[in-house]
Amino acid sequence: MTNPENFLLIMAMLDEALPIINKQNLQYIGKLKNPFTIEHYSGKIESMQVNLLVNGKCNVYGVDQIGTQASTLSTYLGAEAFKPSLIINAGTAGGFLWDKAKIGDTYLGYPKVCYHDRRINLPGFKEYGFGYFPTYDCRTIAKELGLRLGVITTGNSLDFTDKDIELIKENRGVVKDMEAASIAWVANQLGIAYVGIKTITDIVDGSIPTEDEFIMNLKLASHNLAEKTAEVISWLAANKH
Ligand code: SAH
């Protein structure tokens, strides 16, 4: 049973999440479940109860637990705890010149999210590796809110190899991140719709190294991400998704 008045919002990094926490005055509740590092914030966006989970800091290295491993866990634990009617994943991501992406643009994932770094060249396993998890049909939201649409592709590296680029192109990926596919997988397993909202911090096929461009643009992108995430949640709440 899911609760129709309740959305689960999954974000990997605290710096990405702070603007929406502040804008919507979400309250810090505490760690979701011992011994995990996942942090829980809660509040309302319009009429909608929103439980935000941020992956928290690694106990060993002290940095945000970005990537698919912690996101799988936070999504599952959050879905179990709150029984949301929708799982929303908001974050920053890389964009591509081939899709004319600009820093600060926001995309909604559609029609699928997939992996680009799970290469298994065995019959049937190739497609399993990519995943191809369907998303919520975001076409109307994108049109009404003026957002971009496209395939989000996930891997566990911030940089990329030539093979990554080849597979991203093969899958028509236009947004590169490190969490979306793992979150969509949990949502699909549980039969809960997945919405991915990604704001561009860096241009993957541009001339600036990703790590420099990411740090330069994180603040601007997270600000835009907070605005757009609140708009998308309000739209979904008003349109009874
Ligand atoms: N060095 C950074 C670490 C951020 S890693 C820091 O200390 O702040 C990048 C995060 O942003 C991940 O959660 C990922 O989902 C997203 N991201 C942004 N640009 C990306 C790109 N080009 N490729 C993959 N993930 C990207």
For atom 21 of ligand 1, which residue has the closest CA? Answer: 94
Residue 176 Cβ < 6 Å to ligand 1 = yes
Which pLDDT score, from 0 to 100, does residue 47 have?
87
Please report the atom of ligand 1 found closest to the CA of residue 179. Answer: 15
Strand positions, DSSP E, 96-181: 106-115, 133-134, 148-154, 173-177
Cβ atoms of 133 and 194 closer than 8 Å: yes
Grade residue 146 by pLDDT with cuts at 50, 70 and 90: very high
Kind and range of the H or E element at 144?
A: helix 139-145
Cβ atoms of 174 and 96 closer than 8 Å: yes
Q: Are strands 84-95 and 3-11 parallel, antiparallel or unpaired?
A: parallel
Which pLDDT score, from 0 to 100, does residue 217 have?
95
Query: What integer is the mean pLDDT of 1-10?
Result: 81
Rounded CA-CA distance 10/58 in Å is 17
Residue 179 Cβ < 6 Å to ligand 1 = yes
What pLDDT, in 10s, does the model give residues 45-97? 988 999 999 999 999 999 999 999 999 999 999 999 999 999 999 999 999 99
Question: Residue 170 has which token pair?
Answer: 């093969």
Please report the atom of ligand 1 found closest to the CA of residue 160. Answer: 23
Question: Residue 189 has which token pair?
Answer: 């397993």
Rounded CA-CA distance 178/130 in Å is 14
Cβ atoms of 70 and 63 closer than 8 Å: no
Contacts of 209 (CB under 8 A, 6+ apart): none
Which pLDDT score, from 0 to 100, does residue 30 have?
98
In three-state secondary structure terms, 88 is strand
User: Of 196, 192, 153, whose CA–CA distance to 175 is shortest?
Assistant: 153
Asked whether residue 1 carries a pLDDT value surpassing 80, the answer given is no
Fold exhibited by the domain 3-238: Rossmann fold (3.40.50)
Residue 204 Cβ < 6 Å to ligand 1 = yes
**Residues with catalytic function:** 16, 202
Query: What residue segments make up the domains of the chain, in order of their start?
Result: 3-238
Cβ atoms of 198 and 113 closer than 8 Å: no
Residue 101 Cβ < 6 Å to ligand 1 = no
CA of 227 to the centre of ligand 1 (A): 20
Question: Residue 214 has which token pair?
Answer: 């990411």
Work out the mean pLDDT of the chain and round it to a whole number: 96
Asked whether residue 2 carries a pLDDT value surpassing 70, the answer given is no
Residue 76 Cβ < 6 Å to ligand 1 = no
This prediction has a pTM of: 0.96
Cβ atoms of 196 and 113 closer than 8 Å: yes
